[in-house]
Chain A
């Protein structure tokens, strides 16, 4: 495979090509799509966390003017359950019905769908539907769900335990602890988060009885995954008869990866009614049925030698999976969590146990970072606890434990399965400390304390694992999907190019970055390159966008197509020039005979001849088009170091985030403006987890933070401008040298800000507060320390 050669656009901060439509209100999101004869769906949802359904009477709903149909779980009994796409050894996978039958297990679980002539009539109908419930005892906390006598969700899942999973070497870790000089212990909670992409989920299904074709517009990060699961496992129809279109999608952050109840019920209803059916979630529905994230309860112990070097790490985590398994739920607290527990540190022995627990709460799955933020928060919180106990500077403790640089292609093997691709961890730490003016900050902090002001500094490092791969290994670990990506490049007779990618953009800017890549490789103007994504009728089977994989996996699939096309183009050019292929060089959009610059064929001349086919090498097929699939040999491993400065008012518990410094190494960068933007947004989400966001369930299983009035998303006036920089350590895993940048900010910012706040509270002897660090919790901790 060729590496990138000409670079006119690769690495440039060019403006996004998709923006004009968004800036003028001409984007096309699912709810904007209009079809003649469209009907509207509303869902009836369980108000109970756990109950038996005694009866459902659809008659009052059917009597509402405008209501066309009411369907319940009984009507959908021939429809398959929502499948789970990742199996672990011994895992229990209870049936997750599209519409509940017999029992409901969380607040918001869909019970019936009402279809009407207008959205308002559908809601009237949903309100009129009469459902009789018999409430049952419920449990919301994963640790409590494991206790004897806890309410049981499923007869065939004793103790609510979905799985028990371990990674690492128990005996070696126990031995390390026996000889350790010092051990730091901490119990902590990584709280439940609710993703809240600003566009609510939506779907529109249209069925053509004459052909049997079903078209589904859906807010999806991966339309082919939707098509495969819905056609093969749920609706039982040929994949070829289901077309899934994910047009402009307003943010995902993981929550739009999964196949949900609503899109299946809507597709089924469109087929049953013979009319298009549309559903758009309101925000309250997003809160109760979009898959949630995180929700771990953990006990951790870290063992050190006399010099502050880590010798062992022991982790026991209860992971809340919610009431059913969402599409990739088992993967998140297992293989995307345990293997991250080495961070950027040399840790000789690690052992991690995870109990995956069912509770009467909304299902939990991947949310930006997905497992990696949980691991990073844990490691970095432990490091700060240790630094405080040992009386060491937190940056110095980290420095002592860093893995030395390895950039020559020889990977670093951790004790928890991962072999890191390339890394220079101290370089990002040094740069972050320099950018933050760390030593001066410490002096300012000391001066401020003398004046009764409490500044706190957080310094953390992180590692991230992007572009999950390779497929064969994932398969052996339980994946129900491949982890490659596809691309097709179609050259038109004029030399203009259409690129079909299996990646999906819902804010990432692929229409710009992929075009930069292609224009550079072919030496043609970017205006000659069109990027198509998000439509299963147009693009080859692809895996979509999650895990920061689009540039490193999807981009490489496109690069491989270009290699094939340039190879065929070279043969055509050589034939037309009557030159040897070896004598041709491709530069600036021309094949030129080496040493004879006036003997050349342009990209356009070759493209035209490929289609005229008047004069092609003997036996060559006409046309110029290629499809490729890239299955990477490994994950990529971006890394970095972040620094936060906060001021805490101990009298009110208020935290002000004063500065945020992020130095990331995401490998090579196609468009630095876009990467910076993703880092900014990730930081805001990470700060949100540290300070404000919390999906709170009462012990009775009711969601107490079910609107944006109760669940605190970060706002503009709570955040500073961020200071960002990068180091560049190319990844050897793909020829572009890209590592991935979509989740780094989210992973790093939570522990960085949490550690900064706890650093500010050090004079009060406060060593730990569980997230989010709200004014009330801080005030209580300070007040307790003064008693």
Chain B
């Protein structure tokens, strides 16, 4: 038995017939072919598969594709605009927030939601909010710094945009 799904990913609409048991992460990786979203575990611990589903950071290994029918999804491939890295991506680059790169897409998508909720986060808050994402390479030190860098950059961009709007 297969069921139809219509899912918008990174602004593009996809329609497929899928097995009801197909995990959303496998739909994204194998059916749509966006392999930036990774699978690191099978118990929702590692967070490598984190995406934005209707604006919320979720672990795509813990949902079936059919549960995302009608949803709007952003994956790591959808974050950069017109070839320009998102400030969070820039922050990870500037502050060396990645080594092997495997946890990075999930970390960045988790960071996206952290900064949306807490534009000016403390180190303690970032660390607490990252509790659902595992990294084995960096010891988290530079991931925290990367998110702080992005927070500052995004605040500055917002201030500039505000000043321009007031003119």
Contacts and interface: CB of A to CB of B under 8 A. Distances in A.
B139 A707 contact: no
A677 interface: yes
B136 A680 contact: no
A470 interface: no
Contacts of B82: none
Contact of A707 (B33, B36, B42): B42
A715 B101 CA distance: 17
Nearest to B37: A25
B89 to A, nearest CB: 4
A250 B100 contact: yes
Interface residues of B, number: 60
A721 B102 contact: no
Contact of A198 (B26, B30, B35, B136): B136
Interface in A653-695: 673-674, 676-678, 680-685
Interface string A153-197: 000000000000000000000000000000000000000000011
Interface in B96-141: 96, 98-105, 108, 123-124, 126-128, 130-131, 133-141
B79 interface: yes
A196 B140 contact: no
B98 A251 contact: no
Interface in A77-95: none
A23 interface: yes
A391 interface: no
Interface in B38-59: 38-43, 45-46, 48
Contacts of A250: 38, 40, 100-103
B38 to A, nearest CB: 7
Nearest to B130: A716
A507 B103 CA distance: 11
Given A198-B102, A507-B101, A708-B46, A713 B134 contact: yes
Contacts of A681: 99, 135-139
A467 interface: no
B73 interface: no
Interface string B67-87: 000000001110110000100
Most buried by B among A34, A509, A709, A717: A717
A5 interface: no
A530 B80 CA distance: 25
Contacts of A708: 41, 43, 45-46, 134
Interface stretch (A12-20, A440-448, A563-571, A597-605): A12-20
Query: Main secondary structure on chain B at its contact with chain A?
Result: loop
Contact of A248 (B37, B41, B45, B101): B101
A677 B35 contact: no
Contacts of A249: 100
Interface in A345-372: none
B94 interface: yes
Interface in A258-286: 280, 282-284
18 contacts: A20-B93, A22-B98, A24-B76, A25-B77, A119-B26, A197-B100, A198-B134, A198-B137, A200-B40, A249-B100, A250-B100, A251-B137, A280-B39, A507-B100, A507-B137, A681-B99, A715-B130, A719-B140
Interface of B: 19, 21-22, 26, 29-30, 33-43, 45-46, 48, 75-77, 79-80, 85, 89, 92-94, 96, 98-105, 108, 123-124, 126-128, 130-131, 133-145
Interface of A: 15-16, 18-27, 29, 31-32, 34, 119-120, 196-200, 248-251, 253, 280, 282-284, 506-509, 673-674, 676-678, 680-685, 707-709, 713-717, 719, 721-722, 745
Q: Which 7 A-B pairs have the closest CB atoms?
A: A25-B36, A250-B102, A22-B101, A684-B139, A507-B100, A25-B76, A708-B45
